[in-house]
Structure 1
Amino acid sequence: MDILSVIGLLIGISALLFGNFLEGASLGSLVNGPAFIIVFGGTLGATLLQFPPLIFIRSLRLCLWVFFPKKKNLSVEIDKIVEWSHSARKLGLLGLEDEIESEPDPFIKKGLQLLVDGNEPESIRNILELDIDSREDIDLQAAKMLEAMGGYAPTIGMLAAVMGLIHVLENLSDPKMLGAGIATAFVATVYGVGSANLFFLPMANKIKTYVYASSQAREMIAAGLIAISQGENPRNIKLKLSAYLFEFESDSSSL
Structure 2
Amino acid sequence: MDRLSVIGAVLAISALLGGSVLKGAGISGLWSPAAFVIVILGTVAAILLQTSMPTFSRALKMARWVFQPPAHDRPAVVAQIVEWSGTARKQGLLGLEAQVEAQTDPFLRKGLQMVVDGVEPESIRQMLEIELEGNSARDLAAAKVFEGMGIYAPTLGIIGAVLGLMAVMKNLADPSKLGHGIAAAFTATIYGIGAANLMLLPIGNKLKTLVNAQTEEREMIIEGLIGIAQGDNPRNIESRLSGYLG
Give CA deviations for 1:175-215 in whole Å, capped at 9, x if unaligned: 45544532331000000001000000011111111111111
Paired residues of 1:46 and 1:152 also in contact (CA < 8 A): yes
Q: Distance in 1 between matches of 2:243 and 2:223?
A: 11
Q: Distance in 2 between matches of 1:104 and 1:15?
A: 40
Q: Which position in structure 2 is the counterpart of 1:242? A: 242
Give CA deviations for 1:131-161 in whole Å, capped at 9, x if unaligned: 1111111111011100000011001111111
Deviating more after overlay: 110-119 vs 9-18: 9-18
Q: Distance in 1 between matches of 2:212 and 2:92?
A: 33
Q: Distance in 1 between matches of 2:41 and 2:180?
A: 20
Q: Which position in structure 1 is the counterpart of 2:32? A: 32
Q: Distance in 2 between matches of 1:142 and 1:180?
A: 40
Partner-residue secondary structure (3-state), 1:186: helix
Q: Which position in structure 2 is the counterpart of 1:219? A: 219
Q: How does 1:144-163 map to 2 (within 5 A)?
A: 144-163=144-163
Q: Distance in 1 between matches of 2:138 and 2:179?
A: 46
Q: Which position in structure 2 is the counterpart of 1:54? A: 54
Paired residues of 1:69 and 1:210 also in contact (CA < 8 A): yes
Alignment RMSD (CA, Å) = 1.4
Q: Which amino acid aligns with 2:104?
A: P
Paired residues of 1:121 and 1:226 also in contact (CA < 8 A): yes
Paired residues of 1:71 and 1:214 also in contact (CA < 8 A): no
Q: How does 1:105-144 map to 2 (within 5 A)?
A: 105-144=105-144
2:102 corresponds to 1:102:
yes
Q: Distance in 2 between matches of 1:61 and 1:245?
A: 28
Give CA deviations for 1:83-142 in whole Å, capped at 9, x if unaligned: 211121122212222221221111011101211222211111111111111111111101
Partner-residue secondary structure (3-state), 2:119: coil
Q: Distance in 2 between matches of 1:174 and 1:63?
A: 46
Q: Which amino acid aligns with 2:105?
A: D
Q: Distance in 1 between matches of 2:176 and 2:50?
A: 39
Partner-residue secondary structure (3-state), 1:182: helix
5+ residue gaps in structure 2? none
5+ residue gaps in structure 1? 247-255
Q: Distance in 2 between matches of 1:237 and 1:25?
A: 62
Q: Distance in 2 between matches of 1:181 and 1:128?
A: 59
State the TM-score, normalized to the length of structure 2: 0.95
Q: Which amino acid aligns with 1:163?
A: L
Q: Distance in 2 between matches of 1:230 and 1:163?
A: 67
Paired residues of 1:47 and 1:145 also in contact (CA < 8 A): yes
State the number of aligned residues.
246
